[in-house]
Structures are given as structure tokens and as C-alpha cells.
């Protein structure tokens, strides 16, 4: 009887020892996985009781928050930083959500735009794709440099100011020599006229230089080289073409009038007649009455002393007065054939113009 008990005890001991050995081997080989499995299971249990909290935004402010995930940041570090920006209410709930949905290893380093109005699932998913963090920026045709700078200041997504942008595109800024040669930029000239108007999707990590290069590269892609060659054949550099186009852009409301308005100015240039373009006076005046293109009086045709005033000076102004779109640029390079030397707003509120060959006809077209 005693021998039987001893054998039973020995068997239990051997079985226990073997179990311990096997458990140790399993833990050595798969210990991390076991811990991870336990953590994920616990996280899922926690989430099952807090579904409402997951879908509750941290706040109602829809102002974008520039949020940076550094390489090597852990879910806990990210959660703490999200909470400090008032983007989430519960750090542990955020970490649990990442673990339960296998997102903790998919977070990407990068810069993101996040909002208080987003839920934890939305924020977690956003942080897995740094490449998708972009924002729209629109430049209107006919804007001058300062208007682009003002739009930058009004846009909460930009990490820099309008003044920072003007520093890399304004007079005296360092310009890529290759683009300067393509555009025919005079030494020290600004990039006025060559920041192509369009709607752009910009990366969160945009810098002033990056924005400048995106705009000038788009200009080069859209305008191409054939127009440059054709303009040169007519005796106009690309800088001349863009300068004329910038005036056409400011004069016309409707793009279908661009070629005809351009023909008036080309006829005047060919015949040694001053351009008499109102927008050049507005450009010289600058910001007044709360806008960059203020109303002007007839007296200012001669009282505004500036090299840009085409009522006082012959030929083109020293450079572009705005950033024209492709329609105006093409019209300046390929104007309509006409005998017109004058145009004025017609007598309807439709924004179109009446064109004439003689000054007498021009006066007769008054309302």
C-alpha cells in the first residue's frame, strides 16, 4: 500500500516537472505572443463595455491640429500626446483600441491633421497612413503675391506664415537658376506672375520653398515650351507674355474675352500707343480701402507716379501685376486678330466689353 502511494506521488511529481519544463519551453518560444494574446483579449473585453465612449469625440472644435508622430513613439506616448492636445479623453481606451484592432504596429511616423470632432477609431485609423495627410489650397487667377500670402495666413493648415512665403518669392529672393532662365526673369525680380493659379493638395509637411517649387513647376508643366518659342518668334520673351497676360487677367471677367483684350494691347504695343490699363494703376497703389485692387479715379491716371502706371509710361510695365491663368497666358501669346485699339465695359451688368477701332467710336460706346 505504501509503495503504491509512493509511486503515485512520484508520478505526480514527474508529471508536474514535465509540465513545468514544457511550459517553460513554450514561454521561451512563444512568451511574447502569449502576453500579447492576453493583452489583446483584455483590451477587447474592455472595449465591449465602452462602445459609447469610443464614439464620443473629445470636443466640438473643428480647428485642425497639426499632430506629429515621431519614429519609435509607442502607443502610450502617442495617447498621452493626443490627450494633451485635447484630441482624446481617455489615453488607456485609445491604447486598448489600437491593441484590440491590431493597429498598434501599424501607426506611421509623420505629420497629421487631426480634430477634436474625430472619434478614437477615426483618429487611430488616420494615424496608420501618413501619406494621406494633405490639405487643399486654392490660388485664384489674377491674385497678386500679397493675396496669396494673405490666403496662407487665413488657412489654418499651413505651418508657416504668408510673410515666410513672400520671403522666398518676393523681390531679391533666391530663385532656381533653371526656372529663372526659362521664365526670363530679370535679376532680382520676384516670382509675381509665375505662381500658377490652381487648387492644390498640399502635404502636411509643406514648407515655403516646397510651395514655391510646386507652383513654379506647375506653371512650367502647364505653359510648356512651345508657347515660349512662339512668343520669342514674335519678339516677346516669356516674361513679356506673362506681364501682358497679368493685365489681361485683371481686365477680363470672362475668359472668352481674353484673346480680344490681348489683341487690343498687342495692337497698341505695335503702334507705340500707351496701354492705358487701369489694373496697372491699381497694382501701383497697392492695398487701399481694405482691398488690393481698389477703385481708382480719373485723376489717378496721371497722379499715381509709378513705372507700373501705363497711363504715364509706354510699353509694358516692369513686370507682371498678377498671377494669370493659362487662358490669359495663351491669349497674350496668341491674341485674336483685330483692328481694335479700345475697349470698355458694355452697358449691361454681364461683365462683357465693347470694342472699337477709333477713339471716337470708343467715346460713342459710353453708357
Does residue 241 contact residue 262 with C-beta atoms inside 8 Å? no
Residue-wise pLDDT for 161-217, tens only, equals 999 999 999 999 999 999 999 999 999 999 999 999 999 999 999 999 999 999 999
Convert the pLDDT of each residue in 58-72 to its tens digit: 999 988 999 999 999
3-class state of residue 345 by DSSP = strand
Instruction: Enumerate domains of the chain plus CATH numbers.
Output: 54-132 (3.30.1490.480), 134-223 (no CATH), 224-367 (no CATH)
Q: Which residues of the chain have pLDDT under 70?
A: 1-39, 41, 43, 46
pTM of the model: 0.81
Of 326, 323, 332, the closest CA to residue 147 belongs to 323
Using the 8-state DSSP alphabet, how is residue 186 labeled? P
Residues 6+ away with beta carbon under 8 Å from 136: 199, 200, 201, 202
Q: What is the pLDDT of residues 304-326, one digit of tens each?
A: 999 999 999 999 999 999 999 99
Per-residue pLDDT at 8: 60
Q: Please tell me the distance from the alpha carbon of residue 96 to that of residue 167, in angstroms, as a whole number.
A: 46
Amino acid at each position: 500500500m505504501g509503495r503504491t502511494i509512493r509511486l503515485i506521488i512520484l508520478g505526480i511529481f514527474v508529471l508536474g516537472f514535465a509540465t513545468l519544463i514544457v511550459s517553460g519551453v513554450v514561454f521561451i518560444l512563444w512568451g511574447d505572443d502569449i502576453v500579447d494574446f492576453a493583452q489583446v483579449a483584455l483590451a477587447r473585453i474592455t472595449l465591449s463595455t465602452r462602445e459609447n465612449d469610443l464614439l464620443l469625440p473629445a470636443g466640438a472644435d473643428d480647428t485642425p491640429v497639426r499632430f506629429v508622430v515621431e519614429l519609435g513613439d509607442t502607443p502610450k506616448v502617442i495617447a498621452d500626446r493626443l490627450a494633451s492636445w485635447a484630441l482624446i479623453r481617455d489615453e488607456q481606451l485609445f491604447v486598448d483600441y489600437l491593441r484590440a484592432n491590431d493597429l498598434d504596429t501599424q501607426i506611421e511616423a509623420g505629420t497629421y491633421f487631426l480634430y477634436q470632432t474625430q472619434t478614437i477609431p477615426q483618429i487611430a485609423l488616420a494615424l496608420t497612413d501618413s501619406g494621406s495627410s494633405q490639405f487643399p489650397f486654392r490660388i485664384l487667377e489674377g491674385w497678386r503675391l500679397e493675396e496669396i500670402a494673405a490666403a496662407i495666413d487665413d488657412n489654418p493648415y499651413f505651418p508657416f506664415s504668408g510673410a515666410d512665403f513672400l520671403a522666398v518669392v518676393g523681390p531679391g529672393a533666391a530663385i532656381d537658376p533653371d526656372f529663372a532662365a526659362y521664365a526670363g526673369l530679370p535679376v532680382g525680380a520676384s516670382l509675381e506672375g509665375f505662381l500658377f493659379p490652381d487648387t492644390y493638395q498640399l502635404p502636411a509637411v509643406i514648407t515655403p520653398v516646397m510651395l514655391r517649387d510646386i507652383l513654379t513647376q506647375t506653371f512650367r508643366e502647364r505653359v510648356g515650351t512651345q508657347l515660349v518659342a512662339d512668343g520669342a518668334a514674335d519678339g516677346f520673351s516669356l516674361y513679356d507674355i506673362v506681364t501682358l497676360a497679368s493685365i489681361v487677367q485683371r481686365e477680363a471677367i470672362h475668359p472668352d474675352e481674353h484673346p480680344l483684350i490681348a489683341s487690343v494691347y498687342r495692337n497698341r504695343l505695335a503702334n507705340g500707343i500707351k496701354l492705358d490699363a487701369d489694373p496697372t494703376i491699381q497694382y501701383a497703389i497697392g492695398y487701399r480701402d481694405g482691398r488690393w485692387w481698389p477703385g481708382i479715379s480719373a485723376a489717378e491716371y496721371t497722379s499715381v507716379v509709378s513705372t507700373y502706371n501705363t497711363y504715364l509710361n509706354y510699353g509694358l510695365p516692369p513686370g507682371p501685376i498678377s498671377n494669370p491663368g493659362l487662358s490669359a497666358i495663351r491669349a497674350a501669346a496668341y491674341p485674336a486678330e483685330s483692328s481694335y485699339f479700345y475697349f470698355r465695359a458694355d452697358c449691361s451688368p454681364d461683365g462683357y466689353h465693347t470694342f472699337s477701332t477709333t477713339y471716337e467710336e470708343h467715346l460713342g460706346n459710353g453708357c
